[in-house]
Structure 1
Amino acid sequence: MVRPVRALGSGTHHQKDRSNMFSRKRAIASMALTVVVSSVAAPAFAEGGFDSYMSGWLTGIKTRNWNDNNTDAASTSFAARACSYQTGRDVASIAMELNRNDTYTPDEHYGEKTLSCNNSTLTTVAWGNPGKGNFDMTLKKIDGQVTSYNGKLDVTQTRIKY
């Protein structure tokens, strides 16, 4: 659509265009400021993590491994929800061990942590920040026992953060 040409001194139409231009500039500046403030005020997140589950586990089985580049100060943690034996009986607790997988030396173990299993919420255990490396976790105990006399373990949801 072609707009008719008006003389600069013709008054209100020119002023209206000018005020719209300033309104647009203010709106753009406001959006840019919002983006900057949002990015500065955003909470710090852990470097990484993943959700998974356990099906048919016995003690000694390991999670998948991951690389922690130690780009943050986040603690390494394990969380679980809804633990049961494959027979359907509830599991009260499980113990996990954090391991650093070293290439030329024996793996470094950070100790086992026991967490109570809850059917409705994730319960979490943490090891602090172990630094940079390749890690995994090992299932060490089910209901306080190294050997399971009640069958294999199923866990509906697990979460590892690092």
Structure 2
Amino acid sequence: MAAVATGAVAIGVLGIAPAFAEGGFGSSISGWLPGKDSRSWKDNNSDSVSTSVKFAGCSVDNGRFTYAGLQLKKARPGLPDTVVNRDDNYCDTSSFGDKAGGTYYFHYSNLNGQDSVSAYLSVDTVTVRY
């Protein structure tokens, strides 16, 4: 009887699908120029959570931070990686939608719309969810 009750509780708990991200990680950025890539992550697409990159505490050493141009890229072994989404991150959250399974990373493509700058980007907290 106890095994049946335990099984029913497990089914009840596991049967409710909370909106958890499959994975994620936290990091920071220190001294990046446009052209730099984040670390990569493997999305198994085992949920329907939007892939997102959240910045908090953004600054540059020379000039003014308005936004960082980000590209979400999908790695393709033996082929050039493909840009699947773009967003201007105003030190907030860039949401890229639910992505197919694969290996992804974000590419820092520009600062305030300029891809050739001598200002180094720093971000206190970077949170990636997928």
TM-score clears 0.5: yes
Q: Which amino acid aligns with 2:38?
A: T
4+ residue stretches of structure 1 with deviation over 3 A?
31-42
Higher relative CO (Cα under 8 Å, sequence separation at least 6) belongs to 2
Paired with 1:77 and 1:56, the residues of 2 have a C-alpha distance of: 22
Instruction: Rate the CA distance shift 1:42–1:102 in 2: closer, same or farther, 3 A.
Output: closer
Tell me, yes or no, if structure 1 residue 73 matches structure 2 residue 42.
no
Structure (1/2) with the larger strand percentage: 2
Which whole-Å deviations, capped at 9, do the CAs of 1:3-57 have from their partners, x for residues lacking one?
xxxxxxxxxxxxxxxxxxxxxx9xxx7x998776555556220111111110000
1:94 aligns with 2:68: yes
Are 2:19 and 2:49, in contact at CA under 8 Å, matched by a contact in 1?
no
Residue of structure 2 aligned with 1:114, choices 81, 88, 97? 88
State percent identity of aligned pairs.
31
Give the 5 Å matches for 1:126-145: 126-145=95-114
Q: Which amino acid aligns with 1:68?
A: D
Q: Larger % of helix: which?
A: 1
Larger radius of gyration: 1
Find the residue that maps to 2:79 and give its secondary structure: coil
Question: Structure 2: any 5+ residue segments left out of the alignment?
Answer: none
Q: TM-score, normalised by structure 2?
A: 0.83
Q: TM-score, normalised by structure 1?
A: 0.68
RMSD: 2.4
Give, in whole Å, the separation in 2 of the partners of 1:111 and 1:64. Answer: 17
Q: Deviations over 1:89-143 (max 9, x none)?
A: 55121111011111122211113200212xxxxx211121220111111001112
- In structure 2, C-alpha distance between the alignment counterparts of 1:111 and 1:38, rounded to whole Å: 35
Aligned length: 127
